[in-house]
Amino acid sequence: MEGFTGIIMEWMQHLGVSESTSMLLLRIGVILTMLLLAVLIDRSSRKFVIPLIRRITTKTDFKWDDYIFNGRVLNDLCSLISPIVIYALLPLVLPSDAFLDVVMRLCWAYIIVVLMKLAYSVITSLYTMSSEDDKLKNHALKGFYQMLKLAVICIGSIIIVSTLIDKNPIAILTGLGAGTAILMLVFQDTIKGFVAGVQLIANDMLRPGDWITMPKYGADGDVIEVTLTTVKVQNWDKTITTIPPYALVNDSFQNWRGMFDTGGRRIKRSINIDMNTVRFCTEEEMAEFRKQPWMEGFEATGKEEVNLYIFRHYIEYYLRHHPKVNADMTLLVRQLQPTAQGMPVELYFFSADTAWGYYEQIQAEVFEHVLAMLHVFKLRAFQNPTGIDFHKSSDI
Distance CA 348, CA 149 (A): 50
Same domain, 3 and 111: yes
- The candidate with the shortest Cα–Cα distance to 205, out of 156, 251, 248, is 248
Distance CA 190, CA 244 (A): 10
Return phi, psi of residue 343, to 5°: -95, 110
Pairing of strands 265-273, 343-351: antiparallel
378: part of which helix (H) or strand (E)? Answer: none
Which structural domain, as residue segments, surrounds residue 183?
138-255
272 occurs within a structural domain: yes
Residue 172 is predicted with a pLDDT of 67
- Structural domain total, the chain: 3
- The candidate with the shortest Cα–Cα distance to 243, out of 276, 285, 212, 198, is 212
Residue 3 is predicted with a pLDDT of 46
**Average pLDDT value for residue range 310-335:** 92
Question: What's the pLDDT tens digit per position in 23-79?
Answer: 666 667 667 777 788 788 878 877 877 778 777 777 777 777 777 777 788 888 888
Domain with residue 307: its CATH number is: 3.30.70
The total of other beta-carbon atoms located within 10 Å of residue 320's CB is 13
Question: What's the pLDDT tens digit per position in 279-305?
Answer: 999 989 998 998 888 888 787 776 688
Least confident of 207-211, 299-303, 356-360, 378-382: 299-303
396 occurs within a structural domain: no
pLDDT at 269 over 90: yes
Q: Please answer whether residues 226 and 247 qualify as being in contact, where contact means their C-beta atoms are separated by less than 8 angstroms.
A: no
Q: How confident is the model at residue 275 (pLDDT cuts 50, 70, 90)?
A: very high
pLDDT at 389 over 60: no
Domain with residue 220: its CATH number is: 2.30.30.60
**Average pLDDT value for residue range 348-374:** 91
pLDDT at 364 over 70: yes
Distance set, CA 315 to CA 288, 333, 346, 353 (Å):
17, 7, 11, 20
Least confident of 95-99, 173-177, 212-216, 257-261: 173-177
- From 230, 255, 280, give the residue that closes a domain: 255
Distance CA 85, CA 201 (A): 43
Question: What's the pLDDT tens digit per position in 186-242?
Answer: 667 777 777 777 777 667 788 888 889 998 888 999 998 887 778 899 998 899 998
Same domain, 41 and 57: yes
The total of other beta-carbon atoms located within 10 Å of residue 265's CB is 21
Same domain, 151 and 241: yes
**Average pLDDT value for residue range 328-336:** 92
Residue 258 is predicted with a pLDDT of 81
Same domain, 110 and 143: no
Distance CA 51, CA 37 (A): 21
Distance set, CA 341 to CA 70, 186, 203, 279, 334 (Å):
69, 60, 45, 18, 17
383 occurs within a structural domain: no
Residue type, 242: T
174 occurs within a structural domain: yes
Same domain, 133 and 2: yes
Distance set, CA 373 to CA 44, 190, 298, 368, 370 (Å):
82, 60, 18, 9, 5
102 occurs within a structural domain: yes
Same domain, 120 and 143: no
pLDDT at 88 over 60: yes
Question: What's the pLDDT tens digit per position in 103-153?
Answer: 888 888 888 888 888 888 888 888 888 777 766 666 666 667 777 887 888
pLDDT at 385 over 80: no
- pTM as predicted: 0.53
Q: Please answer whether residues 310 and 377 qualify as being in contact, where contact means their C-beta atoms are separated by less than 8 angstroms.
A: yes
**Average pLDDT value for residue range 294-323:** 87
- From 223, 255, 287, give the residue that closes a domain: 255
Residue 2 is predicted with a pLDDT of 47
- Rg of the chain over CA atoms, in angstroms? 39
78 occurs within a structural domain: yes
pLDDT at 7 over 50: yes
Q: How confident is the model at residue 278 (pLDDT cuts 50, 70, 90)?
A: very high
**Average pLDDT value for residue range 336-340:** 92
User: Torsion over CA of 158, 163, 168 and 173, rounded to 10 degrees?
Assistant: -10
Residue 274 is predicted with a pLDDT of 93
Distance CA 336, CA 347 (A): 10
Distance set, CA 348 to CA 89, 112, 339, 360, 391 (Å):
80, 64, 19, 15, 37
- From 255, 285, 308, give the residue that closes a domain: 255
Q: Please answer whether residues 349 and 331 qualify as being in contact, where contact means their C-beta atoms are separated by less than 8 angstroms.
A: yes
Query: Which of 176-180, 199-203, 388-392 is modeled with the greatest confidence?
Result: 199-203
User: Torsion over CA of 259, 262, 264 and 265, rounded to 10 degrees?
Assistant: -10
Same domain, 10 and 115: yes
Q: Please answer whether residues 251 and 260 qualify as being in contact, where contact means their C-beta atoms are separated by less than 8 angstroms.
A: no
Q: 85 or 396: whose pLDDT is higher?
A: 85
Same domain, 244 and 192: yes
pLDDT at 89 over 80: no
Residue 1 is predicted with a pLDDT of 46
Same domain, 222 and 335: no
pLDDT at 4 over 80: no
Q: Please answer whether residues 324 and 379 qualify as being in contact, where contact means their C-beta atoms are separated by less than 8 angstroms.
A: no
**Average pLDDT value for residue range 261-281:** 90
Residue 157 is predicted with a pLDDT of 83
Same domain, 74 and 186: no
Same domain, 66 and 170: no
Query: Which of 255-269, 303-317, 376-390 is modeled with the greatest confidence?
Result: 303-317
203 occurs within a structural domain: yes
The total of other beta-carbon atoms located within 10 Å of residue 207's CB is 18
327 occurs within a structural domain: yes
Same domain, 200 and 283: no
